[in-house]
C-alpha cells in the first residue's frame, strides 16, 4: 500500500534519476515548479532537458507524464535514453528536448489527472467555443462515479460496462467513457473549463522551441492500453493520409492507425493535434507511444477507484492507500523483465526518429 511518504519518495527518486542522468549526459535542464505541493508537502516540477543545436531546422521532443502516474514508465524510458546516449547531446543537426513530468501533480500524487481532476488529453480544446457535450457520459456518471467504493462496487462496475458493450458495441461505450466530458468536474475523463497549468506551460515551451523550425516530432510516452509490455505508436485526432504515411515511413509496423470508428479514436482535446496546429508552416508529427500494462477492466476499475478516492474518500486511510497502490500497478509494472521490454521498444522507436 502507498502512503504519502512512500509516494513522495517514489516521485523524488524518479525525478532525481532523470536529472542526474541529464546532467551526466551534458544536457541543459530547466525546472518549473508547480504552484501546488505533492504528497507529504514536497515540491513538484515540470523539467525540460535540452541538447543538440537549438538553431537547427529539426526538433525532436520526447515527453512523459501527460497522464500523471504514467510518468513512472515514461521517466524510466527518458532516464535510460540519456544513460545509454541514444540521443547524442552533441547532435548538430537537431534540437533535442526531453519534457519530464508534463503533469507533475498527477505524477507525484499517483493520479492520471491533474490538480483540477482534469485529464490533460481532453484539455487541449478551444475554450472560447461552445464546450463539447458528451450525452452518453451523462447517462453513466452515477455508475462511473459512485458515492461508495468496495470490491463489490468494482465488480458491479465491470459487469455494467460489459453489458453496455454487448448491447451498444465497444466503439460507442469507449467514446462515452473515454471520449472526454466537460460537464461533470467530479467525473472521469473531465476536460476542464479552461486551459490548465500544464497546458499553458507546455504551450509556451513548444512555441519557444519551434521558433525557426521547419520540422518537428513529438513523441509522448503513455501506458495502460494494449498488450502487456508491447509498445505501439498511435496518433489521435483527425487522421490525414500524409500523417499516416509519414508515420509508416518512419516506424513501419510499429505504427498503429486506429480505424476512424474504432474504440481507440479520441478526437477532442488531445495534445498532439493541438501542438501540430500551433505551427501550420512547419512539418510537425505528434504521436503517442503507448505501452500495455494490465487488462482493460483492471485499468478501468483503477481509474474509477482513484476518482472515487479523490471525490469521496481519504487518501490517508488503509483503503485510500490500497487504491493508490492499485492505480500505480495499473499503469506501471515494477519488474525487471517488463522494464527491459519497454525500454528496448522505446529505444527502437526513438532511434528511428
Please indicate, yes or no, if residue 144 is contained in any of the structural domains: no
Residue 158 lies in a domain: no
- Rounded to an integer, the average pLDDT of 160-177 is 80
Rounded Cα distance, 239 and 260, in Å? 8
Tell me if 155 is assigned to some domain.
no
pLDDT digits (tens, 9 = 90+) for 254-300: 876 554 444 455 557 899 989 999 999 999 999 999 999 999 889 98
Q: Is residue 275 part of a domain?
A: yes
Tell me if 178 is assigned to some domain: no
Parent domain of 285: 4-130+186-351
* 172: in domain: no
Q: Which residues pair with 325 in a beta bridge?
A: none
Measured from the Cβ of residue 219, the count of other Cβ atoms closer than 10 Å reads: 21
Question: Does a structural domain hold residue 48?
Answer: yes
Domain contains 180:
no
Look up the CATH number of the domain holding residue 27.
Answer: 3.40.630
Which helix (H) or strand (E) is 233 found in, with range? strand 231-234
Compute the average pLDDT of residues 233-246: 74
Task: Give yes or no for residue 190 having a pLDDT over 90.
Answer: yes
Q: Is 161 helix (H, G, I), strand (E, B) or coil?
A: helix
Cα(49)–Cα(62) distance, rounded to whole angstroms?
10
Q: Could you give the number of structural domains in the chain? A: 1
Structure pTM?
Answer: 0.94
Cα within 13 Å of Cα(68), Cβ side:
25
104: closest CA among 22, 18, 24? 18
Give, in order, the Cα–Cα distances in Å from 93 to each of 71, 105, 212: 28, 34, 14
Instruction: Describe the strand order of the beta sheet including 28-33 as a list of residue ranges.
Output: 28-33, 45-52, 94-100, 58-63, 215-228, 283-292, 231-234
Amino acid at each position: 500500500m502507498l502512503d504519502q511518504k512512500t509516494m513522495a519518495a517514489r516521485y523524488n527518486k524518479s525525478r532525481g534519476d532523470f536529472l542526474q542522468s541529464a546532467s551526466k549526459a551534458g544536457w541543459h535542464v530547466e525546472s518549473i515548479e508547480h504552484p501546488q505541493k505533492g504528497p507529504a508537502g514536497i515540491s513538484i516540477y515540470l523539467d525540460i532537458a535540452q541538447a543538440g543545436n537549438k538553431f537547427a531546422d529539426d526538433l525532436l521532443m520526447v515527453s512523459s507524464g501527460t497522464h500523471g502516474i504514467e510518468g513512472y514508465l515514461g521517466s524510466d524510458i527518458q532516464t535510460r535514453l540519456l544513460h545509454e546516449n541514444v540521443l547524442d547531446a552533441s547532435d548538430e543537426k537537431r534540437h533535442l528536448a526531453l519534457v519530464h513530468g508534463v503533469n507533475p501533480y498527477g505524477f507525484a500524487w499517483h493520479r492520471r489527472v491533474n490538480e483540477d481532476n482534469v485529464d490533460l488529453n481532453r484539455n487541449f480544446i478551444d475554450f472560447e467555443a461552445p464546450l463539447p457535450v458528451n450525452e452518453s457520459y451523462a447517462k453513466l456518471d452515477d455508475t462511473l462515479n459512485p458515492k461508495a467504493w468496495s470490491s463489490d462496487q468494482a465488480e458491479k462496475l465491470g459487469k455494467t460496462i460489459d453489458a453496455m458493450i454487448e448491447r451498444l458495441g465497444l466503439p460507442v461505450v469507449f467514446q462515452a467513457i473515454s471520449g472526454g466530458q466537460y460537464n461533470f468536474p467530479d467525473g472521469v475523463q473531465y476536460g476542464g473549463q479552461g486551459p490548465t497549468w500544464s497546458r499553458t506551460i507546455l504551450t509556451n515551451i513548444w512555441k519557444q522551441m519551434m521558433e525557426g523550425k521547419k520540422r518537428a516530432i513529438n513523441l509522448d510516452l503513455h501506458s495502460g492500453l494494449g498488450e502487456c509490455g508491447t509498445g505501439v505508436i498511435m496518433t489521435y485526432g483527425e487522421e490525414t493520409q500524409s500523417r499516416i504515411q509519414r508515420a509508416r515511413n518512419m516506424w513501419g509496423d510499429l505504427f498503429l492507425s486506429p480505424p476512424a470508428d474504432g474504440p481507440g479514436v479520441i478526437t477532442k482535446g488531445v495534445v498532439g493535434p493541438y501542438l501540430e496546429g500551433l505551427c501550420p508552416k512547419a512539418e510537425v508529427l505528434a504521436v503517442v507511444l503507448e505501452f500495455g500494462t494490465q487488462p482493460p477492466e483492471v485499468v478501468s476499475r483503477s481509474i474509477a477507484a482513484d476518482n472515487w478516492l479523490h471525490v469521496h474518500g481519504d487518501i490517508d486511510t488503509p483503503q485510500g492507500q490500497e487504491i493508490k497502490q492499485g492505480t500505480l500497478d495499473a499503469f506501471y509494472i515494477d519488474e525487471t523483465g517488463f522494464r527491459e521490454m519497454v525500454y528496448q521498444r522505446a529505444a527502437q522507436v526513438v532511434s528511428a526518429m
